[in-house]
Structure 1
Amino acid sequence: MDEARKIVDDIRALRVQGARNIALAALKAVRFVVEKSSSTALENAVKEIVLELARARPTEPAMRDALTYVLRALRSAGSRDELLQALDRYEEELRSAEEKISEYGARRVPDGGVVITHCHSTTVVNLLRRAKKDGKKFRVIVTETRPLYQGKTTAKELLESGIPVTYVVDSAAYYFMRDADIYLTGADAITSDGYVINKIGTALMAVAAERFDVPYYVAASTLKYDPVTAAGFPEPIEERDPAEVIDPRELPGAEIRNPAFDVTPPELVDGIISELGIYAPQIFPAMVSQSKGVCPHIEEMIALFRLAGKQQ
């Protein structure tokens, strides 16, 4: 099972970026385990890798949704082949959702305008590629996104797609926001009351966007909605290794903090662009629950959430 364990390590170390890509990588790890486990060991092996994956990144409801789906499929599948077919169906749903988000979101990209974005989101990049394919001309301001510089990945992917890019340091976001026509990011999680959890710095840029009357849209599939927050659980904010920011030996005695995410309130977000359409963040959770019927599975999600984060 070395391939599956390597995927777990890659997810934990942020070598896999973007919530959708993390969910797909998790499914790939499960697939390795399903294909290589003996029939007698299959169930326990799948449960073990699901738990390892859930603990790798606690603030990843998209992956948690995928893993909950795996556990349900494990119970209902009558054979190894049926379980693999269930994984295929889930991956196809992800691809279909991505296409719809790109279609809907591309219509909000202003022709001849300027987009500003933060961090790296495959969903956002695909949306912008679709806008270009639809004949729109625009420029994208990309923040570097310290400390791991995920913005560099965004910039490279956009440039490879022929989209003009202006690459700036994070602290220049306010300065360049005044030039933007739309602020667009992905999301790692969306809570039951419409708060958006995304890469640290997202909320600060949302405040700047409001100051300059720049609409802020979040491109995110319904998998980013975290139903356990409806049960009163707070979305965990991951604190990563301070050494990602600076070698602690350079500042002896200083407390070095490295939160991976921040929380943007719904009043700063103009809309969530999902496969369901574009909705205000305050009503997005209800739309997801109505369309997906997440409530019947919420206890399973809570159980996995508790195991992953040792929540009470």
Structure 2
Amino acid sequence: MSSASAGMFSLDASTRPSPTPQHQQSAFAAAAQAGPSSQSQQAAHAQPQQGGAPAQAGGGQPHGDGKGPKPQREMTKAERRALQESQRAAKAAQKAGGPVGAVEKPKGAAAAPAAEGRGARGGGGAQEARPSTSKPASVAAVPRTESERRQDVAAASGTAAAAASGAAAAAGGAAVDGAGAAAPKKKKDPKAVSLNSTELFAHLQQYKRVTVSSLLHQPAVGNIHPAVLQLGLRYADGSIRGANARCLAMLNAFCQVIRDYTTPEGKELSRDLLRHLNDHVNFLVVCRPLSVGMGNAIRHLKLRISTISPDMPEAEAKQELEQEIADYINVRIDSADKQLVNYAVAKVEPHGDVILTYAASHVVQRALVEAARAGKSFRVVVMDSRPEMEGRATLARLLAAGIPCTYVHLNAASYIIREVTKVFLGAAAVLSNGTVLSRAGTAAVAMMAHAHSKPVMICCETHKFNERVQLDSITHNELGDPEALAAVPGKPEVNSLEGWKEHPRLRLLNLKYDVMPAEYVTMVVTEFGMVPPTSVPVILREFRQSEQTVSGPF
């Protein structure tokens, strides 16, 4: 456009009234249709008409070179790409925790926000509605040459690349150093892992060898009764095994504790005796975790203590508690065993039965001996496994009763199961969903019998029933001595695991129990008869109702 025509355009604009926002919008629309070159020329001529309006289209903020930022319609493809890259870099830096203003906008790309773009495309109405704080432009903007635009594009590309690299460095620093308030995560040292068990069983009580010196360092050991001290040591060294044997020994020790107890001055027997009893229970837990039957007996005794009247004399209350313990032993353990044995003997055929049993169960041994005394002819397969080797005690007792036996290990289960007609197994507990908690390896025997359609009989008293639901052997279990796995009794030459503690990545796991699913159980033999696993909740509900009535040993 020549200088003469520009002068005429300026003279004509000075004599005519200023256009309305509608006229400006139509003018900008026509400029957009005409192309980038004509649009830039119209924008250059429209600035003197506004009479002091801001030269910048977005928010009136002056740019570094004194020229207003261009709308995105006037940008070339390279400028728009540079603008997008700079915006992405700014967002990445903001997410990484760095300062928002760390990323500099490109010089020629005019990184304007969406609101500024709308203001530039909306015409003068949008600019008049929003007051501007920038200085008015006194000189009309001169269109830039092609060489200047190329320089601006190169500068914008360099700025975007620097911003992207800075954002990546900020993100990497945040990940490594935890930029901001995030605490740095420490790498776990493999040597710090407990050697007693794997991390999967770290929530269980870890095995610790209990000695007299270690027990003397326990808190409040001076208040523990000597009978309970001796009982704890016998629990720890394994001289007392079996759920029934441990429960009987604990109840007899508690009888002595109650007999020697004296209520302090100003105290109530029911409250102080519960506290005193809790100290003894905690001491026994340190020596070895409680079994389900022991927990049920303790709960029953605490319920009876809490119902003692404050007006009852101390001697009478202690005598009543001792009688309560004696009744519990007689009804729930001794008499229950006799009734259970009678039901189990009835399941043994007079001739030709081959019965398989695993490890050691007092009630199973008693049932087989009674069946032999009744004149029934049968053979027993005793299955055993390391490290406890409890099946040897079962084998010795059955042979002493004149019962023909076969002794095998657990790895021969798939071979010997073909000769078996029935499977008799003991249990440490039966849970409310029908699962059976028993010696480790019992579930494998039951699974093998179930696969070969052999009936599986679980001999368990109801005082070992529990309302807990368990689907695996991880949530609740007991850890044994890991040293028992490293040594083979009678074979000192087998020492491949000798010095295993020196290897930080080697851990030995000795689980005491496993869980047998209810579908592997054919029948549960109790003192009330033979019931399916699905009837266990019914028996638990009956006992719960009888406990609430607080009448009798049930």
TM-score range, shorter chain: 0.7 to 0.9
Structure 1: stretches of 5+ with no match in the other structure: 298-312
Looking at structure 2, the residues matched to 225 and 294 of structure 1 have their Cα atoms a distance apart, in angstroms, of 15
Equivalent residue for 1:7, pick from 231, 238, 251: 231
1 CA distance for matches of 2:391 and 2:339? Answer: 24
CA distance, structure 2, for counterparts of residue 269 and residue 158 of structure 1:
24
For residue 189 of structure 1, what is the aligned residue in structure 2?
429
Do structure 1's residue 132 and structure 2's residue 372 form an aligned pair? yes
CA 1:168–1:295: 2 relative to 1, 3 Å: same
Please state whether the residue corresponding to 1:49 is helix, strand or coil: helix
CA shift at 1:153, angstroms? 1.6
Q: CA 1:12–1:73 in structure 2 vs 1: closer, same or farther (change >3 Å)?
A: farther
The residue aligned with 1:203 is 443
Match of 1:240 among 480, 488, 505: 480
Alignment of 1:42-121 (within 5 A): 42-54=273-285, 56-58=287-289, 60-77=291-308, 78=312, 79-93=317-331, 94-111=333-350, 112-121=352-361
**Candidates 497, 516, 521, aligned match of 1:264:** 516
The TM-score with structure 2 as length reference comes to 0.50
Q: Please give the alpha-carbon distance, in whole angstroms, between the structure 1 residues aligned to 2:285 and 2:327.
A: 21
Deviations 1:232-287 (A, max 9, x none): xx861112221111155344443211111111111111010001111111222323
More displaced, 133-142 or 61-70? Answer: 133-142
**1:204–1:130 Cα change, 3 Å:** same
* Equivalent residue, structure 1, for 2:456: 216
Higher-Rg structure is: 2
SS class of match (1:229): coil
Structure 2 equivalent of residue 289 of structure 1:
541
Q: How far off is 1:157 after superposition?
A: 2.0
Gaps of 5+ in 2: 1-224, 265-271, 488-496, 550-554
Amino acid at match of 1:82: E
* Structure 1 contact 23–63 (Cα < 8 Å) conserved: yes
Deviates more, 1:95-104 or 1:140-149: 140-149
Does residue 145 of structure 1 match 2:385? yes
Higher relative contact order (CA 8 A, sep 6+): 1
Q: Percent identity over the alignment?
A: 27
Distance in 1 (alpha carbons) for counterparts of 2:239 and 2:385: 15
Which of 225, 236, 249 is the matching residue for 2:498? Answer: 249
Contact 2:363 2:459 (8 Å CA) reproduced: yes
CA distance in 2, matches of 1:295, 1:38: 27
TM-score, normalised on structure 1? 0.86
Q: Distance in 1 between matches of 2:246 and 2:322?
A: 19
Q: Secondary structure at the match of 1:47?
A: helix
* Alignment check: 8 A CA contact 2:431 2:536 kept: no
Letter in 2 for 1:143: M
CA apart distance, 1:295: 7.7
